Amino acid sequence: MLTERLELPPDVANGILFTLLKNVQRNGPKATVSYVAATPKPRIVHLEVTPQGQEPFSIGSYSHKAIHFVVKVKIGGVAGVVAALVGKQPPDIQAWVLGDEAPAFVRSDGPLYGDGPIWRMELAVPAVWPDSTAAASSQK
């Protein structure tokens, strides 16, 4: 058994990404937090969260607006340069949070683990997004 210690910064945000997004300023500049990447050898990376504005969606006959965030994984150092060169830079995560008084997770497009496929997670109710309307009409 191998045991190692990793010094964690005070802003580490593991396991709470969607809670974090609900508290990021919607009109503010990008926010950066630390994150422990679950790689074969755990490492500290930074998540750069940038609000992209509001996007409309509807559930039934009710219209809503969600705040769109882009989350970039910044590896840093030599490992970050090498990751970009060899195609191992993680893709951006796209996330949407309901922009009402009580913010709530609405949708996310991104990998769930390193080198994993892009997964879409969204509300269980049938929501209609502008991009899903275009995709549905192009498949006909």
pLDDT digits (tens, 9 = 90+) for 44-78: 999 999 999 999 988 888 888 999 999 999 988 88
Of 44, 49, 42, nearest in space to 20 by CA: 49
Residue 98 has pLDDT above 80, yes or no: yes
> Is the pLDDT confidence value at 139 over 70?
no
DSSP state of 126: -
The pLDDT, as a whole number, for residue 81 is 77
Checking 123-126 for CB contacts under 8 A at 24+ apart, the result is 123/59, 125/59, 125/60, 126/59, 126/60
H or E element, residue 44: strand 43-59
Q: How confident is the model at residue 132 (pLDDT cuts 50, 70, 90)?
A: low
